[in-house]
C-alpha cells in the first residue's frame, strides 16, 4: 500500500452540536435534502454514504435495503447509531476513504455530501469509489465550489488572494479545500464516472438573508434556483449526479467487506473480528456492536 494522504480527523468532535443543532442551519440542511432527493434514486439495494458523520441525512435512505454509514470518526458513527437505534438496515463502518474496505462492484448508490473539502487527494478518492460502485450505479457528490459568486466578488475587490478561476483546488485552511467545477468534472471522468445533472445549492447562505427571510421561503427559492446549475455554477455548493458505466463486474452476492490493505474479500465475523484470509497479509479488524472498524488492524 502506498503512503495515504493526511486525514482531517473528527474523532471525539462536537460537530453535531457545534455546527448543526440549533445553529441556524435549517436552510442549508433542507436545501441539501431537496438536491439529494432530486439526484439520488429513491430505491435500491445497497447504498453507502461516504463521510456520513453522525448520520444527519440517514433518514433520506428509507428506500434502500442496506445502508452503510462510512466515516473515519468512530465517535460520530456511535452518535449515528445512538440516534438511529436498532434499525438492522444500517451498518456502521469506520475507515479511511483512500482504502475502502469493500469488494469491487458492490454499491448501487454512493452519496457524499459536505466531505470532499477534506480530501487532499480527490482523484485517489474517486478511484476508490469507482472501484466499489456497482456497474450502472449512481454517485451523488456535493462539493464546495471555489468559483462561487462571493469568492469572485472578493477576488475582484482584492480582498482575496487566490483566484476562483484557477482550476487547481485551493486549501483555504489546512485540510479544507474548495474545488473548481471543471476540475472536479475532469477528475470524475478520469476515474471512470460520467458526470451529469448539476444542481446549484445554497445561494442564500448569508446571515442577513437567513435572519430576515422565513426559512420555508428561502428553501423554496433555493429549490427553484437549484436547476440553474445546468447552465451556471456560481453557488457555494454544487451537487452533481454521476453515472457509473454499465458492463463491468458486479460483486458476487454474499461478498461484502474486503481487506483495506490488500483488498482480499473477507469472510464471516469470528470472535468479534474479521481476518484477512490472504496469508501474506492476515490482518485482523475489530467488529463491536455493529461497528466494523477498519481504521487500523488489531
Ligand X SMILES: C[S@@+](CC[C@H](N)C(=O)[O-])C[C@H]1O[C@@H](n2cnc3c(N)ncnc32)[C@H](O)[C@@H]1O
Q: CB within 8 A of 49, min separation 6: which ones?
A: 57, 58, 61, 67, 68, 69, 70, 110, 111, 112, 113
Helix (H) or strand (E) holding 237: strand 237-243
Concatenated DSSP letters of 114-181: S-GGG-TTHHHHHHHHHHHEEEEEEEEEEEEBSS-HHHHHHHHTT--SS-TTSSS-EEEETTEEEB-H
97 or 204: CB nearest ligand X: 97
| Region binding ligand X by CB under 6 A among candidate stretches 108-116, 130-138, 234-242, 288-296 | 108-116
Decide if residue 113 touches ligand X (CB under 6 A). Answer: yes
Number of H helices, E strands in the chain: 8, 12
Q: How many residues bind ligand X (CB under 6 A)?
A: 18
User: Residue with CB nearest ligand X?
Assistant: 53
Which one of the spans 34-42, 49-57, 219-227, 257-265 is the region binding ligand X (CB under 6 A)?
Answer: 49-57
> What is the per-residue DSSP string for 76-91?
HHHHHHHHHTT-TTEE
Q: Rule CB under 6 A: which of 118-177 touch ligand X?
A: 118
Min CB(33)–ligand X separation in Å? 11
Under 8 Å between Cβ of 181 and 198: yes
Kindly list the strands in the beta sheet with 44-50, ordered across the sheet, starting from the edge strand earlier in the chain.
Answer: 194-201, 237-243, 133-144, 107-112, 44-50, 64-71, 90-94, 291-293, 284-288, 273-275
- Near ligand X in 65-104, by CB under 6 A: 71-73, 76, 96-97
* Neighbouring residues of 250: CB distance < 8 A, sequence distance ≥ 6: 105, 106, 134, 135
Select from 2-10, 133-141, 203-211, 272-280 the region that touches ligand X (CB under 6 A).
2-10
Closest CB 48 distance from ligand X, rounded Å: 11
Q: Does 7 bind ligand X (CB under 6 A)?
A: yes
51 lies in the binding site for ligand X (CB under 6 A): yes
Please, which residue, 138 or 142, has the CB nearer to ligand X? 142
C-alpha to C-alpha distance for 57 and 80, rounded to whole angstroms? 10
The reply on whether position 56 binds ligand X by CB under 6 A is yes
Is 114 a binding residue for ligand X by CB under 6 A? The answer is yes
CB of 54 to ligand X, least distance (A): 7
Among residues 38 and 152, whose Cβ is nearest to ligand X?
A: 38
Q: Does residue number 294 form part of the binding site for ligand X (CB under 6 A)?
A: no
Q: Is there binding between residue 205 and ligand X (CB under 6 A)?
A: no
Footprint of ligand X (CB under 6 A): 7-8, 10, 15, 51-53, 56, 71-73, 76, 96-97, 113-115, 118
Amino acid at each position: 500500500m502506498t503512503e495515504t494522504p493526511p486525514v482531517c480527523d473528527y474523532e471525539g468532535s462536537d460537530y453535531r452540536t457545534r455546527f448543526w443543532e440549533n445553529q441556524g442551519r435549517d436552510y442549508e440542511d433542507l436545501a441539501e435534502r431537496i438536491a439529494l432527493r432530486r439526484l439520488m434514486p429513491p430505491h435500491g439495494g445497497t447504498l453507502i454514504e461516504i463521510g456520513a458523520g453522525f448520520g444527519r441525512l440517514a433518514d433520506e435512505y428509507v428506500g434502500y435495503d442496506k445502508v452503510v454509514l462510512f466515516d473515519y470518526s468512530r465517535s460520530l458513527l456511535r452518535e449515528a447509531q445512538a440516534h438511529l437505534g436498532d434499525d438492522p438496515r444500517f451498518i456502521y463502518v469506520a475507515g479511511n476513504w483512500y482504502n475502502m474496505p469493500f469488494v469491487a462492484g458492490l454499491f448501487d448508490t454512493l452519496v457524499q455530501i459536505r466531505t470532499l473539502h477534506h480530501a487532499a487527494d480527490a482523484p485517489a478518492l474517486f478511484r476508490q469509489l469507482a472501484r466499489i460502485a456497482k456497474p450502472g450505479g449512481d454517485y451523488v457528490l456535493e462539493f464546495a465550489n471555489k468559483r462561487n459568486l462571493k469568492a469572485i466578488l472578493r477576488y475582484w475587490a482584492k480582498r482575496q488572494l487566490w483566484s476562483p478561476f484557477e482550476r487547481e483546488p485551493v486549501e483555504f485552511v489546512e485540510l479544507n479545500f474548495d474545488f473548481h467545477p471543471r476540475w472536479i468534472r475532469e477528475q470524475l471522468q478520469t476515474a471512470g464516472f460520467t458526470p451529469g445533472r448539476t444542481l446549484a445549492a445554497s445561494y442564500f447562505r448569508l446571515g442577513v438573508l437567513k435572519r430576515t427571510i422565513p426559512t420555508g421561503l428561502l428553501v423554496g427559492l433555493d429549490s427553484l434556483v437549484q436547476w440553474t446549475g445546468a447552465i451556471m455554477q456560481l453557488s457555494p455548493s454544487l451537487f452533481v449526479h454521476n453515472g457509473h458505466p454499465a458492463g463491468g463486474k458486479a460483486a458476487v452476492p454474499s461478498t461484502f467487506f474486503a481487506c483495506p490493505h490488500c483488498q482480499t474479500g473477507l469472510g464471516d465475523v469470528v470472535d468479534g473480528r474479521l481476518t484477512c484470509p490472504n496469508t501474506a497479509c492476515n490482518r485482523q479488524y475489530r467488529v463491536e456492536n455493529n461497528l466494523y472498524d477498519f481504521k487500523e488492524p488489531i
